[in-house]
Amino acid sequence: MISPPFVVFQIAHVIREIRMFQQTPYSFEHNPRVGNYILSRALLLGDEDLYQRSLAIEPRSNRLSSSFAHSAAAQQVAAAAAAAAASSSSHEK
């Protein structure tokens, strides 16, 4: 069993790291193409579509689905998202 002082030390270490990363200033350059992609209305999905995609990844009847079924559904959703992004970028040009 792990001793409590060791656990406290680990927690303190993690908190110090979080604080360090929160205080680090990041300088990002504005990229209009990325901004347009993120704000594109073509990528917005309705509640029903989001729900159906959620069910494709994790069906209600089988919450403990096999990793194959999970990865296959995730690949289908990723392919649909990529197609939507490609469609969106072709409309921007």
Q: Which residue has the higher pLDDT, 39 or 89?
A: 39
pLDDT at 44: 85
pLDDT tens, position by position, 7-17: 888 999 999 99
Average pLDDT, the chain: 79
Q: Identify the burial level of 70 via C-beta atoms within 10 angstroms of its C-beta, where 0-12 means exposed, 13-18 middle and 19 or more buried.
A: middle
31 or 60: which carries more pLDDT confidence? 31
Confidence label for 38 from pLDDT (cuts 50, 70 and 90): confident
Q: Which one is predicted more confidently, 33 or 77?
A: 33
Of 75, 76, 77, 92, which Cα lies nearest the Cα of 39? 92
Residues contacting 15, CB < 8 A, separation 6+: none
